[in-house]
Amino acid sequence: MKVFRVTGEINKPNLATTFAKEILAEKSEHAIEKVYTEIGSRHRVKRCHIKIVSTVEVPTDEIKDEILKKLVLGE
């Protein structure tokens, strides 16, 4: 499993913000799909209001989320 950092924007009529999430996934497409489902369910945003700007694979030494870092390193 790899860690991807997905960055994007939410453009809803009463909510406009940027986001960056670290996701554990096999491929970048799976990470994007997981971001759509998580943000959609937490913020009640439809997929058409979410714009993905970039998806980057993160090396293990640059992972910011401590739980993901422990999962990847096997601690």
What pLDDT digit, counting tens, does each position of 27-47 carry? 999 999 999 999 999 989 999
CATH topology of domain 2-73: Ubiquitin-like (UB roll) (3.10.20)
**pLDDT at position 75 over 80:** no
pTM for this prediction: 0.88
30-34 contacts at long range (C-beta below 8 A, 24 or more positions apart): 31/4, 31/6, 31/55, 32/6
Q: Which residues of 39-64 are buried (b: 16+ CB within 10 A; e: fewer)?
A: beeeeebeeebbebeebeebeeeebe
Q: What pLDDT, on the 0 to 100 scale, is given for residue 1?
A: 87
Residue from 38, 39, 28 nearest 6 by CA: 28
